[in-house]
Structure 1
Amino acid sequence: MYERYAGLIFDMDGTILDTEPTHLKAWHDVLGRYGMRYEAQAMASLNGSPTWRIAQAVIELNQATLDPHQLAREKTDAVKAMLLDTVRPLPLIDVVKEWHGRRPMAVGTGSESALADALLNHLGLRHYFSAVVAADHVKHHKPAPDTFLLCADLIGVAPQKCVVFEDADFGIQAAKSAGMDVVDVRLL
């Protein structure tokens, strides 16, 4: 089905790994310490964004005066403490395994590199990918195309010869802006 592509790029959270419930629990726990609330639908609309950007939106919603980068670090620490025990691969990992060695592949994620590497290594999946591009590797995050353009560059494939697998609107927009075809995994 993906024979015509020279490179495959995968989002991580919600695409190849089932991390969303853990991320939401971490937000709930961390925000609870500050008596802050969030709207699940608003959080979902920010999927694919770096954690500090989500923290900034939550801080604005709650009219708080916290540092979004500090709040993001607290949330990331909470996720790390839970994720290694709770996260499992999603069915799309079968596509990764099927194409391993046949096409170069990369992960393009809004997560920080330490978290992405920890998860992929813990689950024994890191070796499938020639490159992992995380939020701390680019200046402009999804919906900007930078994450996926860097993925294509690192795997040595022209953007128009890549397909991106995504589960978030920001990521789909980023892939299209990069000139890549995109598979909305929510429709699979």
Structure 2
Amino acid sequence: MSRYDQYDALIFDMDGTLIDSMPGHFGAWQKTASDFGFEVDETWYLTRFGSPTLVTATSVVEEFGLDLDPKVLAARKTEHFVSLLDQSVEVLPFADVARRYAGKKPMAVGTGTLSGLATDMLKKAGLFDLFDVIVGAEHVEAHKPAPDTFLRCAELLNVAPAKCLVFEDAEFGLDAADAAGMDVIDVRVTDVGLD
């Protein structure tokens, strides 16, 4: 019996948990920075990875003193990311958990990415059809570390939060799951454990 069998629903973060698109996101931010006359490096990006694009864009406008609407910056970054999508999606080991339980347990993706882009990425990775629900950045007012994303997943799956297990790779996502009253697996330090 798997350690996952005791839960009524499984909720997955996307980036860093199911797929790795960090090179594509970083490349998109580099192109965006070049477009608007500022520079970013990998160290800068690693402090923001997993944050919704608009949240990062807002912080960029403040940090670099840009006279620019963050929505314009976010839109340009998204355009660049979409252009890089073909070469920027790698399926990660915890996708095997989703494959194992597809059709057996309700499952959701709770991500800081806009749902349309998340759908495209999951389709590109061959994972989209495994999930019943995708909750993206536009579906909640408060993003991780607030619990809203995961609570919305539970609501749409019609499963009590305490009966949900979350899979995450970022501190603010772990905090969000905890705040939602859900058990959480930190995929950075845990084996898939399907045997």
Question: Which TM class, normalised by the smaller chain length?
Answer: over 0.9
1:105-162 CA distances to partner (integer Å, 9 max, x unpaired)? 1000000111001111233211110000000111111111110000011111100111
Q: In the alignment, what sits opposite 2:11? A: 9
Unaligned 5+ segments in structure 1 are: none
Q: In the alignment, what sits opposite 1:187? A: 189
Q: In the alignment, what sits opposite 2:68? A: 66
Q: Is the 8 A contact 1:48 1:142 kept in 2?
A: no
Is structure 2 residue 30 aligned with structure 1 residue 35? no
Q: In the alignment, what sits opposite 2:148? A: 146
Distance 1:42 1:179 in 2: 31
Is structure 2 residue 83 aligned with structure 1 residue 90? no
Distance 2:145 2:48 in 1: 10
Distance 1:184 1:13 in 2: 13
Q: Is the 8 A contact 2:19 2:125 kept in 1?
A: no
Unaligned 5+ segments in structure 2 are: 191-195
SS at match of 1:187: coil
Q: In the alignment, what sits opposite 1:81? A: 83
Distance 1:94 1:46 in 2: 27
Q: Is the 8 A contact 1:46 1:170 kept in 2?
A: no
RMSD over aligned CA atoms reads 1.3
Q: In the alignment, what sits opposite 2:164? A: 162
The structure 1 segments of at least 4 consecutive aligned residues displaced by more than 4 Å after TM superposition are: none
Kindly provide the amino acid, as one letter, of the partner of residue 42 in structure 2: A
Kindly provide the amino acid, as one letter, of the partner of residue 77 in structure 1: E
Q: In the alignment, what sits opposite 2:193? A: none
Percent identical pairs in the alignment equals 47
1:53-93 CA distances to partner (integer Å, 9 max, x unpaired)? 10111221211111111101110111111113331211111
Q: Is the 8 A contact 2:115 2:138 kept in 1?
A: yes
1:11-32 CA distances to partner (integer Å, 9 max, x unpaired)? 0011101111110011011111
Match of 1:175 among 169, 174, 177: 177
Q: In the alignment, what sits opposite 2:131? A: 129
1:93-113 CA distances to partner (integer Å, 9 max, x unpaired)? 111111112211100000011
TM-score where L is the length of structure 2: 0.91
C-alpha deviation, 1:37, in angstroms: 2.3
SS at match of 2:20: coil
Kindly provide the amino acid, as one letter, of the partner of residue 63 in structure 1: G
SS at match of 1:124: coil
Distance 1:39 1:55 in 2: 15
SS at match of 1:179: coil
Distance 2:56 2:33 in 1: 12
Kindly provide the amino acid, as one letter, of the partner of residue 79 in structure 1: F
Match of 2:47 among 45, 48, 60: 45
TM-score where L is the length of structure 1: 0.95
